[in-house]
């Protein structure tokens, strides 16, 4: 998958990671984000990835990649091991949504989650015109998409409230990767959150 | 066809006594080894390959007398192969207590002038690593670029990071476990009992009786061999096929799997030493680096300085991927460097010896990043 703003949320995430902090990147792919957090931010990090080709690419880059399926939870990772547990553009592909969010905040102090906003105005337009949206942040056709769940910024925040998760920060980007300040559920194509534990 | 052509074993003698974990002292010992590639001027490109239960120093290439005598891990060692002999200096060694030339139970005990037999001490993974460190000294290698092994060999790679943290930069631990499970030990015990109860074993002093406990060794190998394969692979390779069309309602070899196991058992018993087999399985059973840390593997691993590459195979039920993940999670807990791959390969525990493209690509990619 290549599209122009693939790293737009990486900029936001990189800004939230401090030197020396420990990061776990779930669904780390070829390790691009981790490579950046390590190289630019001086972080220490591990990635979890399921696909062989991506694991090989990450090993080739010298990333600490652990092959495994995040759907099965994060068993084996100790409580509170990480400063940040990142899930970049992956939540919409996950089946056990609540369990994974809970697991992220078990092993990490903070969960960093980015996802495509289905209520982005271009997506709404596509549905209004009778077609499922295909965009920078939803780059698949309905028949080949890995995405299992289609949800909006409002939907996600409702889930956070139900689960008692603390939303510490929200950044929303349009499909050009520009920050959106107002009417975010309408003008935002990609949302990036920092979440804390309940209480 | 081997990648590196003709190879020849070398022998090193170590006159300094070696104190063993079990309490006894080996007054002197020999190790037989092979090397492939060239040690660079900085002596920074050496990789030690550790063998598993039935392995030895002949890792790659073929011997001058027999082009079919190809090393047991030849598919991964050679020019352009994952353990690239154009870049690395590879060392294969026969472990202490072995039966391929290094000092072992069939060697003469200097105190008696007769074969050690039962009197050869039980050696441990820690003892092997200590003896391999002597070999590193002998070869002028201060620190290995990497130590690599599968199964029991992987345990040695792991132990290297603990016994000599400053002398190993990378550990490649393949199809291994941080310790055996009760089931693993149970299999080993049945194998040992097969040997110990063979009338030709003579308490381990069979050499002087001019016999060998072939039946016991054969059974031990047959049992072991079952545990190295996967159910699916056996079903695919043998199924329920009979050697002849119909069953004879007797106890002769009928099913193809029986024929295969008998062949493997006979072949192994013909060349392997029963006393060595007993000791190799004991070394497996005793291995448990977390034992001195109340079972806390992370605490045990803390002193390791190496970076780790760990791989497990989905069909390996002897050392399942979950066992490798125990090591991975201990390292993650400690914030130590580790890459872990879980490889789909249908050859069970023996997958680590298979030329599986994803597996070999990973090893090659990992080793390419090793700075010399």
Closest CA–CA distance from residue A194 to any residue of chain B (Å): 23
pLDDT in tens, chain B (372 residues): 678 999 999 999 999 999 999 999 999 999 999 999 999 999 999 999 999 999 999 999 999 999 999 999 999 999 999 999 999 999 999 999 999 999 999 999 999 999 999 999 999 999 999 999 999 999 999 999 999 999 999 999 999 999 999 999 999 999 999 999 999 999 999 999 999 999 999 999 999 999 999 999 999 999 999 999 999 999 999 999 998 878 888 888 999 999 999 999 999 999 999 999 999 999 999 999 999 999 999 999 999 999 999 999 999 999 999 999 999 999 999 999 999 999 999 999 999 999 999 999 999 999 999 999
User: Are B140 and B43 a contacting pair, CB within 8 Å?
Assistant: yes
Strand pairing report for B46-50 and B89-93: parallel
Looking at beta carbons, which residues of chain B come within 8 Å of A82? none
Kindly list the structural domains of chain A, giving each domain's residue range(s) and its CATH number in brackets, ordered by start.
8-196 (3.40.50.150)
Closest CA–CA distance from residue A149 to any residue of chain B (Å): 27
Give residue B326's pLDDT: 97
Q: Which of residues 275-314 of B touch A (CB under 8 A)?
A: 309
Size of interface A-B (CB pairs under 8 A): 50
Closest CA–CA distance from residue B348 to any residue of chain A (Å): 18
Helix, coil or strand: residue B121: coil
**What is the phi/psi pair of residue A77, to 5°?**
-80, 130
Looking at beta carbons, which residues of chain A come within 8 Å of B326? 76
- Identify the closest residue of chain B to A52 by CA–CA distance: B358
Q: Show the tokens assigned to A84.
A: 């940040």
What would you report as the CA-atom Rg of chain B, rounded to the nearest whole angstrom? 20
Helix, coil or strand: residue B20: coil
- Identify the closest residue of chain A to B365 by CA–CA distance: A60
* Residue B263: partners with Cβ closer than 8 Å, 6 or more residues away: none
| Residue B338 in contact with partner chain A when CB distance is under 8 A | yes
How many other CB atoms sit within 10 Å of the CB of residue B294? 8
Per residue in A67-93, pLDDT (tens digit) is 999 998 899 899 999 999 999 999 999
User: Are B134 and B30 a contacting pair, CB within 8 Å?
Assistant: no
Per residue in A13-32, pLDDT (tens digit) is 999 999 999 999 999 999 99
How many other CB atoms sit within 10 Å of the CB of residue B98? 28
* Residue B173: partners with Cβ closer than 8 Å, 6 or more residues away: B149, B154, B155, B157, B158, B308, B309, B310, B311, B324, B327
Residues of A with a Cβ under 8 Å from any B Cβ are 22, 44, 46, 52, 55-56, 58-60, 62-68, 76-78, 81
DSSP states of B287-339: --TTGGGTT-HHHHHTT--SEEEEEEETT-SSS-HHHHHHHHHHHHHTT--EE
Per residue in A28-74, pLDDT (tens digit) is 999 999 999 999 999 999 999 999 999 999 999 999 999 999 998 89
pTM reported for the whole predicted model: 0.96
Q: Tell me which DSSP letter residue B109 carries.
A: P
Per residue in A167-187, pLDDT (tens digit) is 999 999 999 999 999 999 999
Looking at beta carbons, which residues of chain A come within 8 Å of B368? 60
């Amino acid at each position: 998958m290549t599209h122009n703003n693939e790293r737009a949320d990486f900029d936001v995430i990189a800004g939230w990671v401090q030197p020396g902090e420990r990061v776990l990147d779930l669904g780390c792919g070829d390790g691009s984000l981790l490579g950046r957090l390590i190289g630019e931010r001086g972080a220490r990090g591990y990635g979890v990835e399921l696909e062989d080709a991506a694991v090989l690419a990450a090993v080739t880059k010298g990333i600490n990649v652990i092959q495994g399926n995040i759907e099965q939870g994060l068993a084996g990772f100790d409580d509170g091991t990480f400063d940040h547990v990142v899930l970049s553009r992956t939540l919409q592909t996950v089946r056990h949504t609540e369990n994974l969010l809970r697991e992220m905040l078990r092993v990490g102090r903070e969960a960093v989650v980015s996802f495509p906003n289905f209520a982005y105005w271009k997506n709404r337009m596509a549905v209004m015109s009778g077609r499922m949206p295909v965009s920078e942040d939803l780059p698949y056709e309905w028949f080949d998409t890995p995405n299992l769940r289609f949800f909006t910024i409002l939907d996600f925040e409702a889930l956070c409230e139900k689960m008692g998760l603390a939303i510490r920060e929200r950044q929303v980007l349009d499909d050009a990767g520009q920050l959106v300040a107002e009417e975010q559920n309408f003008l935002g194509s990609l949302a990036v959150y920092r979440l804390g534990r309940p209480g | 066809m081997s990648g590196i052509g003709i190879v020849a074993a070398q022998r090193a003698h170590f006159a300094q006594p070696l104190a063993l974990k079990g309490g006894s002292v080996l007054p002197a010992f020999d190790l037989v080894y092979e090397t492939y590639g060239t040690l660079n001027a900085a002596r920074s490109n050496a990789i030690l390959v550790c063998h598993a239960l039935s392995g030895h120093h002949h890792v790659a290439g073929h011997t001058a007398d027999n082009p079919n005598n190809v090393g047991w891990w030849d598919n991964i060692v050679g020019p352009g192969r994952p353990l690239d002999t154009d870049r690395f200096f590879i060392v294969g060694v026969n472990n202490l207590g072995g039966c391929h030339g290094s000092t072992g139970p069939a060697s003469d005990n200097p105190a008696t002038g007769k074969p050690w037999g039962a009197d050869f001490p039980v050696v441990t993974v820690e003892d092997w690593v200590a003896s391999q460190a002597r070999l590193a000294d002998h070869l002028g290698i201060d620190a290995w670029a990497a130590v690599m092994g599968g199964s029991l060999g992987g345990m040695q790679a792991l132990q290297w990071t603990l016994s000599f943290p400053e002398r190993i930069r990378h550990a490649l631990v393949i199809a291994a476990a941080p310790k055996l499970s009760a089931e693993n030990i149970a299999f080993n015990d049945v194998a040992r009992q097969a040997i110990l109860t063979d009338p030709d074993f003579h308490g381990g002093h069979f050499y002087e009786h001019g016999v060998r406990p072939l039946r016991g060794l054969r059974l031990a190998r047959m049992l072991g061999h079952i545990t190295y394969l996967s159910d699916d692979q056996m079903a695919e390779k043998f199924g329920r096929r009979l050697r002849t069309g119909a069953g004879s309602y007797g106890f002769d070899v009928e099913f193809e799997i029986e024929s295969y196991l008998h062949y493997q058992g006979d072949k192994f018993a013909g060349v392997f030493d029963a006393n060595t087999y007993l000791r190799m399985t004991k070394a497996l059973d005793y291995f448990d680096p977390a034992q001195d840390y109340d079972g806390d593997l992370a605490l045990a691993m803390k002193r390791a300085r190496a970076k780790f590459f760990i791989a497990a195979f989905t069909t390996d039920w002897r050392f399942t991927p979950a066992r490798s993940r125990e090591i991975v999670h201990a390292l993650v807990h400690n914030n130590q460097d580790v890459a872990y791959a879980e490889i789909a390969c249908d050859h069970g525990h023996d997958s680590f010896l298979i030329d599986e493209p994803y597996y070999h690509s990973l090893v090659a990619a990992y080793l390419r990043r090793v700075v010399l």
